[in-house]
Chains A and B, each alone.
Chain A
Amino acid sequence: MAFLIRTIDFTAAGREIIRDRIAEQTSLTVGRAAENDIHLPDLAVEQHHVRIERAGDGMLHASALGTLGFALDGRMVMQGTIDPRTGGEIALGAARLAIAAEADGSIAITIRQIAAEEGKTDALRGFALASVLPSKRAMSWVLAGTILLLLLMVPVASHLLRTPTKPDPTGKTPGAVLLDSAWSSGELSVKHHSLKDNCESCHVAAFKSVQDETCISCHEDTGNHAPMPRLAGGAPALSPGDALQWRIAEGFGKEGPLGCVSCHSEHEGPVRQPAGGEAFCSDCHDKLDTRLTDTSLANAHDFGKGHPQFRPVYFASFGAAKPVRAKPGTKPVERSGLVFPHDVHMDARGGAARMALSLRQYGKPLECGDCHALTPDKLAFKEVKMEESCEGCHSLVSGRTAGGGFSKLRHGDVKDLAEDLARISSGPRRRVGPVRQRPVQIGSASPAYAADFGRPVRAYIGLSNALSVGGVCTECHLPTRGPTGQADLMPVNLPDRFLSSGYFNHEAHKKEECTDCHAADTSKVASDLLIPDLKSCRDCHLGATAVKTKKVVPSDCAMCHAYHLPAGQWATKGPKPHYRPVPDKAAIASLAGPAGLKP
């Protein structure tokens, strides 16, 4: 058993010098001292450093002779076992002793000097994850730069450089500001959804909150509830906290608590503006008279507990130009100019009922709906037309026509009546019944020869009779005298709506009988104003805080009033239109003028 000790050195020129020697012994010592079997002139090596000896099974055992260990296969040890068949490497200072079994059974120890490795600490950097990932700093710059560029600089630059255009409510003008949709904090309300790509139509100037005038530039028709000074005076004082908030907000250019956006907040999703709650109204209206001492409005806060009596508008005198509002606590006497006892017409056993029974279009006693027809929006009633509703019984037929029908007096204008009556008296007379006529009889084929220039006085008498008491007109109308003393009729005056500051939907009450609310069946004269009072409503309708039962309907203010136009209702559910009835411009103009006029 021998060790083949092979030393590999390099000349200055880099040439390899290999020296082999054979040591016929079972153990070797390695060290700096010259007497060692393997002499390593290296200060890092001990005088007697390691002993390598054969162990059983062809293994080699290496052990440190001093206190300093050695590296075996890269690991610092004091002793270790090497299998020469697989090999091993001992490191001592700069020397590397590679141990391997030769084919003849001897063991080769190859000694090689290793140049000090440079950049080892660099190699250790490979352990850090940073060696395989882009640097944090680079990633930070890229991410932050992208965000700032796309989400801040592009929108701001395109906003500053754009040519301002008029807001387009239809949303057809494409947005001039780029990427500002990323700034939207939420979807716009249903009505404003067409503006979603057109932020600058509301956000006009940079760092300036949405102004009322911007809203009004489109919503110029919106009523203002009351003029701004009245609104400001009627509102209760803000709590100190709210007042401070608004002072701060107004300091930053926000519109005050009466500005559009303080109620109409946007970017809250595709919703409709909810109607104000009872508290919203009663904030001001509960003790309104303490703040607006000159107001004609009574306090209100809860329909069941605190709501003033209805004050319908009606014509208080015959032929008045304008209706008046009923005074609180009085019983209105309506001067419509009509003679119409409701009870006579509604009595199921009376003469009117008998007559209706005999007529094909009725066939049964009269009902309210025979005269009063709902408007197409099902909210109110159409004007009662004499020709449609009355003439079935109150006939104005005056004779036969040539075609076999009936001629009748025209209704509506006394002048028409006078003409028609004159024609009856002076026109060609038709026989009422058919009479056999002989050929060539004068008057049959040639009306010109049949003219009957009767005495005109007959027409005047007829007109006078019709218009005076007991005449056909005065069945329903009141006789009067015209400016020149001629016989005339009182003009008929009925308001379009009796309750002009509230909203009542007849369709919603169709399960009720008309007479449940309107005391028509007991009304003997047309001067009775048959508008129900508060009490009849409160049978079912109580305030918003009332408990809902089969009979009781909790009713907040918005059920009958809307904020901008109190005469209507703002419904957030159901089909369009959401404001009912659809207001006309005159109604808005008469209310308070365009919204947003500053105090």
Chain B
Amino acid sequence: MMATKAAQTKGGTGRFTQDEKRRDSDHVSFLKHRGFRWLWIALALSAASIAGYVLIDQEPRPNGGTWYGYTLGTIGFGLILWLSLLGVRKRRINPGAWSLKAWTSAHVYLGLSLAVVGTLHTGFQMGWNVHTLAYVLMLLVIVTGIYGVVVYATLPASLSSNRKEMTRAQMLDALTAIDRQLESAAQPLGRAEADLVIAALAQDVFYGGPLARLTGRYPGCATSRALKRMGGNSEETARVGSLLERRRDQLAQIRGALRIRAMLEIWLFIHIPLTIALIAALTAHVISVFYYW
């Protein structure tokens, strides 16, 4: 015990020390990784870029074609290619002297500093051309990335509270259970009411497009429609009505989960394709600049 403690204080390389270190780091967010190491590196890169932009006399005016412009452009190009490799890195589950957390931390902070480097590379000259297209794509990728970091930090808690200790499978099971009861409870109903129940049961649990998922609005929900139109005051219709209400509530929970999940995932559907589009636009940008040099 004494020995291990001594080793710990000395920052030794004992097995225990290493394990403790790993256990500690397992619970540190990628944003705070190693005392915000990559945040500081990104800030330094941004500050250096801005200082260079302000201090270096660029003739006749700052733009991507001065030597400083080419320098910033090269840094930005390298950054973009490296940042886009996160997708490759995270699929490589193999040992090596690289930490996915460090890589993610660097991805976030260097990605933010790319906005500074890229903007200075433009020299604030915009137009309807492939160069500004690449710049706008880059900004969109960065903005969606910022959104991604924010939702990853905030939404999982609400996803958990929405579940109410049910798994996704249980949510679907609960709905199936209600559906079976609904089917038998609806047996005495007349044609019109029976059709409403059929429509409600026939509608897919995951009915609705991406917009419905994101907003949580399902104007075509057959269960809501059945509830609204279910007439009659008989005991049978009352029973079906209360079952429909239970069905609606269960759907609401599932749709709540869908909504949070959609908000968690939607940015990737912009971030990733726009990154690939950005690399294409960047290729066209670099080649065109030197093609018409």
Contacts and interface: CB of A to CB of B under 8 A. Distances in A.
B150 interface: no
Interface in B171-195: 171-178, 180-181, 184-185
Given A100-B185, A147-B133, A185 B64 contact: yes
A151 B174 contact: no
Given A123-B172, A124-B172, A144-B276, A207 B239 contact: no
Interface string B241-279: 011001000100000011001100110110011111101
Interface in A491-526: none
A143 B282 CA distance: 13
B98 interface: no
A245 B59 CA distance: 13
Contacts of B276: 140-141, 143-144
A245 B67 contact: yes
Given A86-B239, A184-B129, A151 B284 contact: yes
A129 B266 contact: yes
B274 A143 contact: yes
A546 interface: no
B208 interface: yes
A152 interface: yes
A141 B172 CA distance: 35
B100 interface: no
A141 to B, nearest CB: 8
Interface in A167-212: 180-187, 199, 203, 206-210
B95 interface: no
B239 A85 contact: yes
Contacts of A252: 293
Nearest to B279: A144
Given A110-B184, A129-B213, A143-B273, A74 B265 contact: no
Contact of A120 (B63, B131, B169, B288): B169
A98 B184 contact: yes
Contact of B168 (A124, A132, A145, A182): A124
B50 interface: no
A144 B205 contact: no
A129 B265 contact: yes
A75 B242 contact: no
Nearest to B269: A133
A183 B133 contact: no
Contacts of A207: 290-291, 293
B14 interface: no
A74 to B, nearest CB: 3
A59 to B, nearest CB: 14
A186 B67 contact: no
A232 to B, nearest CB: 19
B181 A140 contact: no
B291 A206 contact: yes
Nearest to A136: B272
Interface string A118-132: 001001101111111
A87 B243 contact: yes
A183 B288 contact: yes
Nearest to A134: B269
Contacts of B181: 87-89, 98, 100
A260 interface: no
Nearest to A124: B168
Contacts of A484: none
Nearest to A131: B206
Given A87-B185, A120-B169, A265-B60, A129 B269 contact: yes
B125 A186 contact: yes
Interface string B87-100: 00000000000000
Nearest to A108: B184
Contact of B170 (A74, A199, A208): A74
Contact of B265 (A120, A128, A141, A183): A128
Interface string B197-228: 00000001110111001000000000000000
B166 interface: yes
B261 A129 contact: yes
Given A98-B181, A132-B209, A268-B60, A187 B127 contact: yes
Interface string A144-161: 110110011001100100
A127 B60 CA distance: 56
Given A128-B261, A209-B293, A136 B280 contact: no
A96 interface: yes
A159 B235 CA distance: 80
Contacts, number: 176
Nearest to A138: B273
Given A140-B272, A184-B127, A86 B258 contact: no
A133 B267 CA distance: 12
B210 to A, nearest CB: 5
A431 B158 CA distance: 126
A141 B281 CA distance: 13
A136 B269 contact: yes
Nearest to A159: B291
B133 A151 contact: yes
A85 B234 CA distance: 13
A148 B280 contact: yes
Contacts of A151: 130, 133, 281, 284, 288
Contacts of A88: 181
Given A136-B269, A144-B277, A207-B293, A127 B168 contact: yes
A73 interface: yes
B18 interface: no
A100 B168 CA distance: 27
B244 to A, nearest CB: 11
A287 to B, nearest CB: 22
- The listed residue with most B CB atoms (<10 A of its CB), out of A127, A128, A139, A268, is A127
Nearest to A183: B288
A185 B243 contact: no
Given A128-B261, A129-B262, A143-B274, A180 B173 contact: no
B293 A98 contact: no
A316 B175 CA distance: 114
Contacts of B268: 136
B149 interface: no
A186 B125 CA distance: 7
A263 B266 CA distance: 49
B130 A183 contact: yes
B48 interface: no
A183 B175 CA distance: 56
A98 B239 CA distance: 14
B287 to A, nearest CB: 6
- The listed residue with most A CB atoms (<10 A of its CB), out of B257, B268, B291, is B291
Contacts of B287: 152, 156
B195 to A, nearest CB: 21
A96 B180 contact: yes
Given A139-B269, A183-B129, 5 more contacts: A86-B242, A98-B181, A136-B272, A142-B273, A265-B60
A-B pairs, 4 with minimum CB distance: A74-B174, A140-B276, A143-B277, A144-B280
28 contacts: A71-B170, A71-B173, A73-B246, A74-B174, A75-B174, A86-B239, A86-B242, A86-B243, A87-B181, A87-B239, A123-B205, A124-B168, A124-B172, A128-B265, A136-B269, A140-B272, A140-B276, A143-B273, A143-B280, A144-B276, A145-B280, A148-B283, A180-B288, A185-B289, A186-B125, A203-B291, A208-B293, A268-B63
Interface of A: 71, 73-76, 85-89, 91, 96, 98, 100, 110, 120, 123-124, 126-133, 136, 139-145, 147-148, 151-152, 155-156, 159, 180-187, 199, 203, 206-210, 245, 252-254, 265, 268
